[in-house]
Amino acid sequence: MTARQLLAQDPAIAEALQLELCRQRDSVELIASENFTSRAVMEAVGSVLTNKYAEGYPGKRYYGGCEKVDIVEELARRRACELFGAAFANVQPHSGANANYAAYAALIDPGDTVLGMSLDNGGHLTHGSPVNFSGRLYRIESYGVSPET
């Protein structure tokens, strides 16, 4: 969505975003996590890749249709290796799995039973997949969905 499209769709949000942009441009932020992001990076982050969930590693994803995402991730990984003179790099961000882990750790104990939707029915790896901490530490009861019900 372009700025014009946003302005037409939701003027209040467009105005708030413009005000925040002005604040960022007119100040020096000394908090590392609030670094001023280049326009090119914002365009990439706000691209069609936003619509694609690509959990796992290139060529070994848990969901289909990730071939184009794999191209971008491999390019980023190679560039990071070159930049830092490293043999290996992981360019994947932290995910909601961290939040799910925090909830598990706060609310239940290892060995407790958890009900979670199965991965093939739309569940998440943290809902009991054997490759995830949840599938190793907890008794998982998976459920699915039925087109008839």
- Mean pLDDT in the chain? 90
Query: Which token pair is 57?
Result: 């590693």
Domains of the chain, by residue range, sit at 1-36, 49-93, 96-143
Residues 16-69: pLDDT tens digits?
Answer: 999 999 998 888 777 767 778 888 988 988 899 989 888 899 999 988 899 999
Residue 1 binned pLDDT confidence (cut-offs 50, 70, 90): low
CA distance 95 to 81: 22
Residue 82 binned pLDDT confidence (cut-offs 50, 70, 90): very high
Q: Specify the pLDDT at position 86.
A: 98
Q: Specify the pLDDT at position 84.
A: 97
Burial class (CB in 10 A: 0-12, 13-18, 19+), 75: exposed
132 Cα distance to chain centroid? 16
DSSP secondary structure, 91-110, as one string? -PPP-HHHHHHHHHHHH--T
Query: Which token pair is 118?
Result: 């199965």
Q: Specify the pLDDT at position 6.
A: 92
| CA angle, residues 41, 44, 48, in degrees to nearest 5 | 160
CA distance 110 to 88: 33
CA distance 43 to 104: 35
Please give the model's pTM, rounded to 2 decimal places: 0.60
Q: Specify the pLDDT at position 66.
A: 95
CA distance 98 to 78: 26
Q: How many CA atoms lie within 13 A of 78 on its CB side?
A: 7
**8 Å CB contact between 125 and 62:** yes
For residue 130, give the nearest of 83, 62, 34, 65 by alpha carbon: 62
Residue 78 has pLDDT above 90, yes or no: yes
Portion of the chain with pLDDT greater than 70, in percent: 97
Residues 86-133: pLDDT tens digits?
Answer: 999 999 877 778 888 989 999 999 999 999 988 888 888 898 988 999
